[in-house]
Structure 1
Amino acid sequence: MCGNYDAMSEESRKEFLTLDQEKLIHKYQLESDENYLYIKVLGQDYQISRQLGTVTCRGSMKPAEHDIVMAIYDVFCCSDVNEKFPEMAGNWETLAQMGGIVGAGHARKLHQPDVIRPLEGKTEEIRKACESLGGLACKGGDVSYLLPVFPFLKVWFQYWDSDEEFPASIRFLWDKNSIKILHYEIIFYTTKYIEDKIKELIR
């Protein structure tokens, strides 16, 4: 799997270097200088080398995590066919709704009891984790935040804690037109990354 990740990252890096960077800067309203393009992902700052295409944490040479790297490459390459940035539909969908039969299988992996169990009884810790990811509190669930995957693309995270009648549950909602910005596979892996990151932050 690591080999596949490395191959995917390398192909995506090469594809990024073929793109018109000035168009990317204008389209995504990116901060830039002669060496880097800068972009924020889940509240953290990253830089993409204009000469090499490598993605590192801003102000350092520390490599970004793989899921972050692939999301950054994909948002530039997937929507490159659109001259203008795709408008959001304003309609929220689950992974299952977005991906059909495949999506239903992916969603189940994120909602297994053993996956959710570490979150039980930790609503305040989950709130703090969401805020550290740049989230904006909103209505829905015991914990509900709009998390900025990118400044221009948010995912709606909702969590319900367990009680006497129901087990704990989570839901991730994406705008229907997110698929015009990221490939479905990247949307799934980004969702899983967020879930894992929240669990890491509350430990």
Structure 2
Amino acid sequence: MAKEITSNYEMACLKWKEVFKNMDKEELMKELPELKVEGEYLVIYHFGRKFGVHMENGEIIAMEDELPISVSEKFNIYLLFHYIKPNSKIKGEWVTFERLKNTSQFKPAFVKSVLEPFAKAFAGHMDKLEEACEKIGGKRIKASDMGYELKAFECIPVQFLFWDEDEEFESRASMLFDISCTDFIHEESIVTIASVGVERLIQVAGLNKSENTFDMR
């Protein structure tokens, strides 16, 4: 029996799957060298999780675990494939979310659905944050109380910055992005990418998800 479509997000995801089915896969692999072929699938890693995208029917599967795949994860993969600009390159210039191209209007959603849940989830659990970042292949950076650079995709690195709570201040969080990331994906998708990153860290750390975290499921 076919799965019932229960949200506009799921319907839109089906649309992007159809778009992918008609794409030139060889050209896509030239623009995204991180894509590898395994059997009938194009393989891509999203925050350390291995996904396979069937080259004919566009279906996305998890290749190393049996956890559910969120609509957000599927969206991020499909939209990366669709929006990447020719000859896009990482530039090595780190900026805050609102300094990315055409993102300032999304800042309230970014703070509420990404930074606040990130800070809340790991308050008093800096050790678990470190462990989770290491497990998904993060690189420790000298910034904040606990800073890590993670790969949303190989072409979209993100710096996760966390300051733990103390007697005077609540925990807080920030993120930095390579200024080139909107050359790879639509600017509105940066919120979804960051949210998936936070969800992934919370999941790997074994902590409870904040109710404010953005979720397309």
Band the TM-score falls in, shorter-chain normalisation:
0.7 to 0.9
* 1:42 corresponds to: 47
- 2:95 alignment partner AA: E
- The equivalent position to 1:17 in structure 2, one of 21, 25, 37, is 21
Percent of aligned pairs sharing the same letter: 22
CA distance in 1, matches of 2:86, 2:193: 24
Report deviation, 1:34.
5.1
Is residue 148 of structure 2 the alignment partner of residue 145 of structure 1? yes
Report deviation, 1:144.
0.8
* 2:212 corresponds to: none
Deviations 1:122-148 (A, max 9, x none): 111001111222211111011111111
CA distance in 1, matches of 2:56, 2:148: 36
Deviations 1:6-44 (A, max 9, x none): 111111101111211011223222211451111111112
CA distance in 1, matches of 2:156, 2:118: 25
- The equivalent position to 1:107 in structure 2, one of 106, 110, 125, is 110
Q: 1:95, 1:106 within 8 Å by CA — same for their partners in 2? A: no
Determine helix, strand or coil for the equivalent of 1:184.
Answer: coil
Q: 1:116, 1:168 within 8 Å by CA — same for their partners in 2? A: yes
Report deviation, 1:91.
1.6
Deviations 1:76-130 (A, max 9, x none): 1001xx332x112222122222245413212321333x66233111111001111
* Structure showing the higher helix proportion among its residues: 1
Comparing both chains, which one has the higher relative contact order based on Cα–Cα distances under 8 Å and sequence gaps of 6 or more? 2
Q: 1:96, 1:105 within 8 Å by CA — same for their partners in 2? A: no
Q: 1:142, 1:158 within 8 Å by CA — same for their partners in 2? A: yes
CA distance in 1, matches of 2:125, 2:154: 27
Is residue 93 of structure 2 the alignment partner of residue 91 of structure 1? yes
CA distance in 2, matches of 1:195, 1:120: 13
- The equivalent position to 1:6 in structure 2, one of 6, 10, 13, is 10
Q: 2:28, 2:81 within 8 Å by CA — same for their partners in 1? A: yes
Task: State the TM-score, normalizing by the size of structure 1.
Answer: 0.88
Is residue 81 of structure 2 the alignment partner of residue 76 of structure 1? yes
- The change in CA–CA distance for 1:196 and 1:58 in structure 2 (over 3 A counts) is closer
Deviations 1:164-184 (A, max 9, x none): 332211111111110111112
Unaligned residue ranges in structure 1 (runs of 5+) = none
- The equivalent position to 1:133 in structure 2, one of 130, 133, 136, is 136
